[in-house]
Amino acid sequence: MAIGINGGNSRSNRRTPYGALSEINVTPFVDVMLVLLIIFMLTAHVMEFGIQVDVPKTRAVQDSAKELPVVNITKDGSLYLNEKEVNFNALSTEIQRRFPGATAVYLRADKETVWEPIAQVMSELGNAKLQVNAVTQPEDTANKRRK
């Protein structure tokens, strides 16, 4: 027992041979700390070589907007480079011809476009060593509140 109590009656005439023991038993505490130390030692190696995630850096909107070619995919799968329709097979060469030195493009797709043409365009642009930046529109929260 960690502390001794003389029966709850402090005015007792009987003297206890031990008195009040006010020490904490640290053995369970040391056992728990050693187990935690072992767990952290084992997981530290895993945390060092975990999943690589590039955390985005924030900056002003004016600085992040770049003049890049825009690849548009319509609902029916038609492909446009800026405003001009282009063939899928000639997309990367057309980008290099019309925008020499381009290293990235914006990709806009209609929300009802099936996934396959989008995936094919992203793969083609990736094979051409072009960074693909998806263009999205922020959700309008004002309309949701009214409903």
pLDDT at 11: 53
Ramachandran bin of 117, using left for φ above 0, alpha for ψ from -120 to 50, beta for the remaining angles: alpha
A 10 A CB-CB count for 92 gives: 18
Q: What is the pTM of this model?
A: 0.51
Q: State the Cα–Cα distance between residues 71 and 135, nearest whole angstrom.
A: 10
Which whole-number Å values give the CA distances from 108 to 118, 121, 133, in the listed order?
Answer: 9, 11, 9
pLDDT tens readout for residues 75-100: 888 888 888 889 989 999 999 999 98
Q: State the Cα–Cα distance between residues 116 and 128, nearest whole angstrom.
A: 18
Write down the H helix ranges in 49-114: 61-64, 91-98
